[in-house]
Copies of this chain bind each other. A is one copy, B any other.
Amino acid sequence: MKKKILIHDIAKHLDVSIATVSLVLNGKAKEKRISDTLAERVLKYVEEVGYKPNQLAKSLRTGKTHVIGLMVEDIANPFFATVAALIEKKALARGYRIIYCSTNNDTAKALDLLTMFQERHVDGYILALPNGVEDEVSALVRRGKALVLFDRLLPGVLTNAVVVDSASGMYEATQHLLGQGFRRIALVMAHSEQTQMAARQQGYAQALREHQLPELVHEIALPQEHEQIVHELQLFFQVQPACDAVLFATNYLGVYGLEALTRLGKRIPEQVAVVSFDDNDLFRLYSPPITVVAQPIEAMAEDIINTLLSALESRAETGRIVQLQLAPQLVVRSSSIRSRGQSSNEG
């Protein structure tokens, strides 16, 4: 087992000071007037023996870890998993590592994790949070930490954010159903104060209001057992037989909803038309394919990491706040809704 090689060993072998080696390695050779010949000798030897500085020591001294903390609702949720995968990839390419955690929408857990991120001295924060952590996040903002919220905002916290325009996405989806002739349109959403949830309901409500139709909202309390939720939805669809279409506010609600409808033997869209927020494999390949409000995941990831990195790099101009609102896209899939006999698979 070869001993770990230190900067000290490099210096000794080359018969120079530790400082010299460090300066060369950090690209400050010119600035600090280390001669080119020596700088090259150092680099060559470092390469030769494969010396890698101890990151812990480095971080302790500089206060930078090159680690970004990413907090999502649930890493097993395809939306968050995909965003996380993309962010990780883009961050890695820019020299940053990601450490990610799921809050499961639990305020206490989110607080714990925020503390953990601070203990780990993450350089920046990317956060999709439950409500109830406003104070802690405000404190981070006040301390000038690089931070960007995504998916949802935090009421009363003014900081960088990248979100999707949920309201107009849901408005469009509702309009689409109305355009297809549906009149009793239900909305299934998570019981939550989160901003994106509220916006989705708002978009739905507005479209119905414009047609002077009543709202039919069902809120699911979370977290709950899978089986429990499906059961609750089955009951809802039985008690609410009048509804001829349903909107699901998130992809997991859509999945549960399809399961409930399948169990009840309801035919889609003849008995109930279905539209969900968020796309996924199931909706795309289900028969009939499910129309969705798709989020621009790739663009979100790009915007998130860009916003964070520019916040990180421009330590000086602390005032700057970037708030981006991206447009979701209605992906209409069941072309044969309300029309019979069409058996074509559209592209």
Contact = CB atoms under 8 A, between A and B. Distances in A.
Contacts of A221: none
Contacts of A287: 262, 286-287, 344-345
B55 A288 contact: no
Contacts of A99: 97-99
B286 A286 contact: yes
A180 to B, nearest CB: 15
A157 B99 CA distance: 28
A341 B115 CA distance: 59
Nearest to A139: B1
A217 B66 CA distance: 45
Nearest to A261: B285
Interface residues of A, number: 59
A44 interface: no
Interface in A279-314: 280-282, 284-288
Given A88-B101, A102-B85, A255-B285, A55 B121 contact: yes
A12 interface: no
Contacts of A340: 347
Interface stretch (A73-81, A165-173, A185-193, A200-208): A73-81
This chain's copy number in the assembly = 2
A280 B78 CA distance: 11
Contact of A345 (B75, B280, B284, B288): B288
Contacts of A286: 282, 285-287
B59 A88 contact: no
A316 interface: no
Contacts of A55: 119-121
B142 A120 contact: no
A52 interface: yes
A285 B288 contact: no
B75 A262 contact: no
B116 A102 contact: no
Nearest to A280: B281
A105 interface: no
A152 B274 CA distance: 39
A209 to B, nearest CB: 33
Interface in A44-60: 52, 54-57, 59-60
A258 interface: yes
Contacts of A346: 343
Interface string A243-258: 0000000000001001
Given A99-B99, A262-B285, A288-B345, 20 more contacts: A54-B60, A55-B120, A56-B60, A75-B84, A76-B78, A76-B84, A76-B85, A78-B81, A88-B101, A97-B99, A255-B281, A255-B285, A259-B284, A259-B285, A282-B282, A282-B286, A285-B286, A286-B286, A287-B287, A288-B347
